[in-house]
C-alpha cells in the first residue's frame, strides 16, 4: 500500500503541473504545421522580450542550437509532443528558431539519391 504522497504523485496521477499549463492552455500551435521529424535550428537572434519566454521555451531553444528534430526535442525535455509543438511555434513566431520540413512531405517523394545514401549508410552500420 503506497503512502499518501506516492498515491497522489505517482506517474499515473500525471505531472504536478498539467502539461498544457505550460502553454497557457493552448492546445493548437500558431502558424504553419510541422512534421514530427521537421528539423529545428536556433537562429541565434536576440531575444527581444525575455518575459515572453518561459523556462521550457529556454530549454527547447538551447536544444536547438545544433540541428535537431521535433521528436528529439520532445524526448529530451520529456514533455508531450503537442506541448513541444506549441513551444516551438512560439519560438518560431519570435524569430528564434527556424523549422524546416523533412526530406519529403508525401510518401514516395524522397529522392533517389537520398534513398541510395540511406542504403549505403545502413550497409555500413
Which backbone phi and psi does 7 adopt, to 5 degrees? -65, -35
* Residue 41 binding another protein, by CB under 8 A: yes
Of 23, 28, 27, 30, give the one whose Cα is nearest residue 55: 23
Measured from the CB atom, the residue of 54 and 102 that comes closer to another protein is: 102
54 binds another protein (CB under 8 A): no
Q: How far is the CB of 42 from another protein (least distance, A)?
A: 7
Select from 107, 105, 102 the least CA-distant residue to 67: 102
Shortest reach from residue 33's CB to another protein, in Å: 10
Stretch that binds another protein, among 1-9, 50-58, 67-75 (CB under 8 A): 67-75
Strand partners, 14: none
Amino acid at each position: 500500500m503506497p503512502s499518501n504522497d506516492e498515491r497522489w504523485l505517482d506517474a499515473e496521477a500525471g505531472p504536478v503541473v498539467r502539461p498544457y499549463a505550460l502553454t497557457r492552455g493552448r492546445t493548437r500551435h500558431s502558424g504553419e504545421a510541422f512534421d514530427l521529424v521537421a528539423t529545428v535550428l536556433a537562429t541565434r537572434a536576440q531575444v527581444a522580450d525575455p518575459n515572453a519566454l518561459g523556462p521550457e521555451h529556454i530549454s527547447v531553444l538551447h536544444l536547438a542550437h545544433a540541428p535537431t528534430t521535433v521528436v528529439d526535442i520532445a524526448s529530451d525535455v520529456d514533455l508531450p509532443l503537442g506541448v513541444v509543438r506549441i513551444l516551438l511555434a512560439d519560438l518560431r513566431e519570435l524569430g528564434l528558431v527556424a523549422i524546416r520540413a523533412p526530406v519529403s512531405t508525401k510518401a514516395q517523394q524522397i529522392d533517389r539519391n537520398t534513398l541510395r545514401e540511406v542504403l549505403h549508410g545502413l550497409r555500413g552500420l
